[in-house]
Amino acid sequence: MAFSTIYNVFFKRNSVFVGTVFAASFVFQAAFDSSVTSWYEAHNKGKLWKDVKLKLGESGDDEDDDDE
Amino acid sequence: MLGLRSSFRSSLQAMKSQSRLISASAVSAKSTYRTPDFGDYIKEKQDADKSRSYAYFMVGSLGLLSSAGAKSTVETFITTMSASADVLAMAKVEVNLAAIPEGKNVVVKWQGKPVFIRHRTQSEIDEANSVEMSALKDPQTDADRVKNPEWLIMLGICTHLGCVPIGESGDFGGWFCPCHGSHYDISGRIRKGPAPLNLEIPEYEFDDQKLIVG
Protein backbone atom coordinates (compact mmCIF):
# COMPACT_ATOMS: atom_id res chain seq x y z
CA MET A 1 0.00 0.00 0.00
CA ALA A 2 3.04 2.19 0.02
CA PHE A 3 2.54 3.13 -3.60
CA SER A 4 -1.00 4.28 -3.08
CA THR A 5 0.25 6.48 -0.23
CA ILE A 6 2.90 7.97 -2.52
CA TYR A 7 0.32 8.50 -5.19
CA ASN A 8 -2.15 10.13 -2.84
CA VAL A 9 0.44 12.38 -1.21
CA PHE A 10 2.50 13.58 -4.18
CA PHE A 11 0.79 12.92 -7.48
CA LYS A 12 -2.92 13.22 -6.92
CA ARG A 13 -3.08 17.00 -6.80
CA ASN A 14 -1.26 18.71 -9.64
CA SER A 15 -0.37 21.71 -7.45
CA VAL A 16 1.40 19.45 -4.99
CA PHE A 17 3.10 17.58 -7.83
CA VAL A 18 4.44 20.73 -9.48
CA GLY A 19 5.37 22.23 -6.14
CA THR A 20 7.31 19.12 -5.22
CA VAL A 21 9.11 19.19 -8.57
CA PHE A 22 10.13 22.84 -8.14
CA ALA A 23 11.20 22.41 -4.52
CA ALA A 24 13.16 19.30 -5.42
CA SER A 25 14.84 21.11 -8.31
CA PHE A 26 16.18 23.73 -5.88
CA VAL A 27 17.55 21.05 -3.60
CA PHE A 28 18.90 19.13 -6.57
CA GLN A 29 20.69 22.19 -7.93
CA ALA A 30 22.47 22.88 -4.67
CA ALA A 31 23.42 19.25 -4.22
CA PHE A 32 24.55 18.87 -7.83
CA ASP A 33 26.58 22.06 -7.67
CA SER A 34 28.39 21.14 -4.48
CA SER A 35 29.00 17.56 -5.54
CA VAL A 36 30.44 18.60 -8.91
CA THR A 37 32.60 21.23 -7.21
CA SER A 38 33.94 18.79 -4.64
CA TRP A 39 34.65 16.19 -7.33
CA TYR A 40 36.42 18.79 -9.47
CA GLU A 41 38.53 19.99 -6.58
CA ALA A 42 39.46 16.45 -5.60
CA HIS A 43 40.32 15.64 -9.21
CA ASN A 44 42.54 18.72 -9.60
CA LYS A 45 44.12 18.66 -6.17
CA GLY A 46 47.44 20.46 -6.10
CA LYS A 47 46.77 22.45 -9.26
CA LEU A 48 44.16 24.80 -7.88
CA TRP A 49 44.90 28.39 -6.91
CA LYS A 50 44.12 27.78 -3.25
CA ASP A 51 46.77 25.03 -3.16
CA VAL A 52 49.27 27.04 -5.18
CA LYS A 53 48.72 30.06 -2.95
CA LEU A 54 49.92 28.15 0.10
CA LYS A 55 53.08 27.12 -1.72
CA LEU A 56 53.73 30.70 -2.82
CA GLY A 57 53.13 31.90 0.72
CA GLU A 58 56.10 29.79 1.89
CA SER A 59 58.56 31.29 -0.59
CA GLY A 60 57.45 34.83 -1.45
CA ASP A 61 54.74 37.03 0.04
CA ASP A 62 54.84 39.84 -2.52
CA GLU A 63 52.64 38.06 -5.04
CA ASP A 64 50.26 36.98 -2.34
CA ASP A 65 49.27 40.55 -1.62
CA ASP A 66 48.11 41.21 -5.16
CA ASP A 67 45.21 38.87 -4.91
CA GLU A 68 42.08 40.27 -3.22
CA MET B 1 -41.19 38.07 -38.53
CA LEU B 2 -44.42 36.89 -37.04
CA GLY B 3 -44.00 33.55 -38.78
CA LEU B 4 -40.47 33.17 -37.35
CA ARG B 5 -41.67 33.81 -33.81
CA SER B 6 -44.53 31.39 -34.02
CA SER B 7 -42.28 28.69 -35.40
CA PHE B 8 -39.80 29.28 -32.54
CA ARG B 9 -42.65 28.96 -30.03
CA SER B 10 -43.85 25.74 -31.53
CA SER B 11 -40.30 24.31 -31.45
CA LEU B 12 -40.05 25.24 -27.74
CA GLN B 13 -43.30 23.42 -27.16
CA ALA B 14 -41.90 20.41 -28.94
CA MET B 15 -38.79 20.49 -26.70
CA LYS B 16 -40.97 20.55 -23.58
CA SER B 17 -42.44 17.22 -24.46
CA GLN B 18 -38.97 15.64 -24.73
CA SER B 19 -37.54 14.30 -21.52
CA ARG B 20 -33.81 14.73 -22.33
CA LEU B 21 -32.58 18.27 -22.99
CA ILE B 22 -28.82 18.01 -22.69
CA SER B 23 -27.85 14.62 -24.07
CA ALA B 24 -29.72 14.48 -27.31
CA SER B 25 -28.44 11.18 -28.65
CA ALA B 26 -30.59 8.17 -28.00
CA VAL B 27 -29.13 5.00 -26.55
CA SER B 28 -29.48 3.27 -29.85
CA ALA B 29 -27.34 5.95 -31.54
CA LYS B 30 -24.41 5.54 -29.09
CA SER B 31 -21.19 3.71 -29.91
CA THR B 32 -21.50 0.08 -30.67
CA TYR B 33 -17.77 -0.49 -30.19
CA ARG B 34 -17.17 -3.51 -28.05
CA THR B 35 -14.22 -3.22 -25.69
CA PRO B 36 -11.82 -6.07 -26.40
CA ASP B 37 -10.78 -8.36 -23.63
CA PHE B 38 -7.28 -7.42 -22.48
CA GLY B 39 -7.20 -10.16 -19.92
CA ASP B 40 -4.43 -12.09 -21.65
CA TYR B 41 -2.10 -9.10 -21.56
CA ILE B 42 -2.69 -7.82 -18.04
CA LYS B 43 -0.15 -8.91 -15.43
CA GLU B 44 -1.22 -11.30 -12.76
CA LYS B 45 -0.45 -9.08 -9.78
CA GLN B 46 -1.25 -5.74 -11.35
CA ASP B 47 -0.78 -2.84 -8.91
CA ALA B 48 -2.28 0.22 -10.59
CA ASP B 49 -0.79 2.59 -8.01
CA LYS B 50 2.70 1.21 -8.53
CA SER B 51 2.78 1.67 -12.28
CA ARG B 52 1.06 5.03 -11.99
CA SER B 53 3.53 6.22 -9.36
CA TYR B 54 6.38 5.05 -11.55
CA ALA B 55 5.07 6.98 -14.55
CA TYR B 56 4.48 10.13 -12.54
CA PHE B 57 7.89 9.81 -10.93
CA MET B 58 9.52 9.74 -14.35
CA VAL B 59 7.48 12.73 -15.52
CA GLY B 60 8.40 14.58 -12.34
CA SER B 61 12.09 13.76 -12.69
CA LEU B 62 12.12 15.12 -16.21
CA GLY B 63 10.36 18.23 -14.92
CA LEU B 64 12.93 18.55 -12.14
CA LEU B 65 15.88 18.35 -14.51
CA SER B 66 14.39 20.72 -17.05
CA SER B 67 13.33 23.26 -14.44
CA ALA B 68 16.79 23.17 -12.86
CA GLY B 69 18.31 23.63 -16.32
CA ALA B 70 15.95 26.46 -17.17
CA LYS B 71 16.69 28.18 -13.89
CA SER B 72 20.46 28.03 -14.36
CA THR B 73 20.14 29.19 -17.98
CA VAL B 74 18.11 32.22 -16.97
CA GLU B 75 20.44 32.84 -14.04
CA THR B 76 23.52 32.76 -16.26
CA PHE B 77 21.92 35.14 -18.71
CA ILE B 78 20.99 37.59 -15.99
CA THR B 79 24.42 37.35 -14.39
CA THR B 80 26.03 38.56 -17.62
CA MET B 81 24.23 41.85 -17.11
CA SER B 82 25.74 42.53 -13.70
CA ALA B 83 28.87 44.62 -13.34
CA SER B 84 32.12 42.73 -13.81
CA ALA B 85 34.81 42.64 -11.14
CA ASP B 86 37.06 45.21 -12.84
CA VAL B 87 34.17 47.66 -13.05
CA LEU B 88 33.26 47.07 -9.42
CA ALA B 89 36.87 47.61 -8.38
CA MET B 90 36.84 51.04 -10.00
CA ALA B 91 33.41 51.95 -8.67
CA LYS B 92 34.57 53.25 -5.31
CA VAL B 93 37.27 55.61 -4.21
CA GLU B 94 38.73 56.07 -0.75
CA VAL B 95 39.99 59.39 0.52
CA ASN B 96 41.87 60.00 3.73
CA LEU B 97 40.12 62.96 5.31
CA ALA B 98 42.78 63.53 7.95
CA ALA B 99 45.07 64.95 5.26
CA ILE B 100 42.63 67.72 4.30
CA PRO B 101 42.98 70.79 6.50
CA GLU B 102 40.02 72.99 7.34
CA GLY B 103 39.07 75.43 4.62
CA LYS B 104 40.71 73.47 1.81
CA ASN B 105 39.37 71.87 -1.33
CA VAL B 106 40.45 68.51 -2.67
CA VAL B 107 39.47 67.10 -6.04
CA VAL B 108 39.49 63.34 -6.52
CA LYS B 109 38.64 61.32 -9.58
CA TRP B 110 35.73 58.91 -9.20
CA GLN B 111 34.40 56.91 -12.13
CA GLY B 112 36.09 59.34 -14.50
CA LYS B 113 34.40 62.34 -12.89
CA PRO B 114 35.87 64.92 -10.53
CA VAL B 115 34.55 64.91 -6.98
CA PHE B 116 34.98 68.04 -4.89
CA ILE B 117 35.66 67.57 -1.20
CA ARG B 118 35.70 70.64 0.96
CA HIS B 119 36.53 70.76 4.63
CA ARG B 120 34.33 73.66 5.59
CA THR B 121 35.03 76.03 8.41
CA GLN B 122 32.36 76.89 10.98
CA SER B 123 31.77 80.30 9.40
CA GLU B 124 31.21 78.67 6.02
CA ILE B 125 28.70 76.26 7.52
CA ASP B 126 26.86 79.17 9.14
CA GLU B 127 26.94 81.02 5.84
CA ALA B 128 25.47 78.03 4.00
CA ASN B 129 22.70 77.70 6.58
CA SER B 130 21.83 81.40 6.61
CA VAL B 131 20.75 81.51 2.96
CA GLU B 132 17.04 82.13 2.39
CA MET B 133 15.30 79.39 0.42
CA SER B 134 13.51 82.01 -1.68
CA ALA B 135 16.85 83.27 -2.97
CA LEU B 136 17.71 79.90 -4.51
CA LYS B 137 16.99 78.72 -8.01
CA ASP B 138 16.99 75.08 -6.92
CA PRO B 139 15.88 75.28 -3.27
CA GLN B 140 17.65 72.79 -1.05
CA THR B 141 18.75 73.20 2.54
CA ASP B 142 22.39 72.74 3.41
CA ALA B 143 21.42 69.88 5.75
CA ASP B 144 19.96 68.02 2.77
CA ARG B 145 23.24 68.27 0.90
CA VAL B 146 25.68 67.06 3.56
CA LYS B 147 25.88 64.15 5.95
CA ASN B 148 28.39 65.89 8.13
CA PRO B 149 28.30 69.71 7.81
CA GLU B 150 32.09 69.89 8.07
CA TRP B 151 32.47 67.95 4.84
CA LEU B 152 30.87 68.96 1.59
CA ILE B 153 31.19 66.24 -1.05
CA MET B 154 29.78 66.77 -4.52
CA LEU B 155 30.34 66.01 -8.17
CA GLY B 156 32.46 68.71 -9.76
CA ILE B 157 30.44 68.92 -12.92
CA CYS B 158 28.57 72.10 -13.76
CA THR B 159 24.91 71.25 -14.21
CA HIS B 160 24.76 73.58 -17.20
CA LEU B 161 26.96 71.95 -19.83
CA GLY B 162 29.33 69.81 -17.80
CA CYS B 163 32.41 71.95 -17.33
CA VAL B 164 34.41 71.64 -14.13
CA PRO B 165 33.87 74.69 -11.88
CA ILE B 166 36.79 76.44 -10.20
CA GLY B 167 36.92 76.35 -6.41
CA GLU B 168 37.05 79.29 -4.00
CA SER B 169 35.86 81.77 -6.56
CA GLY B 170 32.67 83.33 -7.81
CA ASP B 171 30.38 85.90 -6.26
CA PHE B 172 29.13 83.60 -3.50
CA GLY B 173 32.37 82.29 -2.07
CA GLY B 174 31.97 78.84 -3.52
CA TRP B 175 32.57 77.63 -7.04
CA PHE B 176 32.56 79.41 -10.36
CA CYS B 177 32.16 77.79 -13.75
CA PRO B 178 34.35 79.59 -16.28
CA CYS B 179 32.50 78.27 -19.32
CA HIS B 180 29.29 80.27 -19.01
CA GLY B 181 29.64 82.01 -15.66
CA SER B 182 27.59 79.97 -13.21
CA HIS B 183 28.17 80.86 -9.59
CA TYR B 184 27.74 78.25 -6.84
CA ASP B 185 27.70 79.02 -3.14
CA ILE B 186 29.59 77.29 -0.32
CA SER B 187 27.01 74.50 -0.31
CA GLY B 188 27.36 73.94 -4.06
CA ARG B 189 23.97 75.45 -4.82
CA ILE B 190 23.45 77.41 -8.00
CA ARG B 191 23.03 81.13 -7.28
CA LYS B 192 23.71 82.95 -10.49
CA GLY B 193 24.25 82.04 -14.13
CA PRO B 194 22.74 79.62 -16.62
CA ALA B 195 23.05 76.36 -14.66
CA PRO B 196 19.61 75.02 -13.69
CA LEU B 197 20.47 72.78 -10.73
CA ASN B 198 22.74 72.55 -7.71
CA LEU B 199 25.93 70.54 -8.01
CA GLU B 200 25.09 66.86 -7.69
CA ILE B 201 25.82 64.92 -4.50
CA PRO B 202 27.25 61.43 -5.06
CA GLU B 203 26.68 58.42 -2.80
CA TYR B 204 29.26 58.47 -0.04
CA GLU B 205 29.87 57.37 3.50
CA PHE B 206 32.33 58.09 6.26
CA ASP B 207 34.41 55.34 7.77
CA ASP B 208 36.32 56.74 10.71
CA GLN B 209 38.93 59.01 9.09
CA LYS B 210 38.19 57.79 5.60
CA LEU B 211 35.65 58.87 3.06
CA ILE B 212 34.32 56.29 0.63
CA VAL B 213 32.70 57.73 -2.46
CA GLY B 214 30.53 55.36 -4.43
pLDDT tens string B48-96: 788 888 999 999 999 999 999 999 999 999 999 888 888 777 788 888 8
Which residue range forms the structural domain that includes residue A37? 1-62
| pTM of the entire predicted model | 0.49
B143-192: pLDDT as tens digits: 888 888 888 888 888 888 888 888 788 788 788 888 888 888 888 888 88
Select the residue of B56, B67, B72 nearest A22 (Cβ to Cβ): B67
B154-165: pLDDT as tens digits: 888 888 888 888
Identify whether B180 is a catalytic site residue. Answer: yes
Which residues in chain A land under pLDDT 70? 1, 59-68
Select the residue of B52, B63, B72 nearest A29 (Cβ to Cβ): B72
> Into how many domains does chain A fold?
1
Instruction: Kindly state whether A35 is in contact with chain B, defined as any CB-CB distance less than 8 angstroms.
Output: no
The rounded distance, in Å, linking the Cα atoms of B204 and A39 is: 43
Domain-embedded: residue A68:
no
Q: In the predicted model, what is the mean pLDDT of chain B?
A: 81
Intra-chain end-to-end CA distance of chain A, in Å: 58
Task: Judge if B68 and B138 occupy the same domain.
Answer: no
Active-site residue among B119, B160, B180, B183? B180
Task: Judge if B93 and B196 occupy the same domain.
Answer: yes
Model ipTM over 0.90: no
pLDDT at B58: 95
For residue B96, give the 3-state DSSP assignment. Answer: strand
Task: Judge if B137 and B155 occupy the same domain.
Answer: yes
CB count in 10 Å sphere of residue A65: 7
Domain-embedded: residue A24:
yes
Closest CA to B158 of B170, B140, B141: B170
pLDDT at B13: 60
Angle at B96 between CA B93 and CA B100, to 5 degrees: 120
Instruction: Give phi and psi for B106, each to the nearest 5.
Output: -135, 140
> Into how many domains does chain B fold?
2
pLDDT at B70: 95
More confident residue, A40 or B107: A40
Task: Judge if B151 and B187 occupy the same domain.
Answer: yes
Chain B residues near residue A32 by CB distance under 8 angstroms: 68
Instruction: Kindly state whether A24 is in contact with chain B, defined as any CB-CB distance less than 8 angstroms.
Output: yes
pLDDT at B23: 62
Task: Judge if B93 and B199 occupy the same domain.
Answer: yes
Domain-embedded: residue A14:
yes
Angle at A7 between CA A5 and CA A9, to 5 degrees: 65
Determine whether the interchain pair A25/B53 forms a contact, defined as Cβ–Cβ distance below 8 Å: no
CATH code at position A2? 1.20.5.260
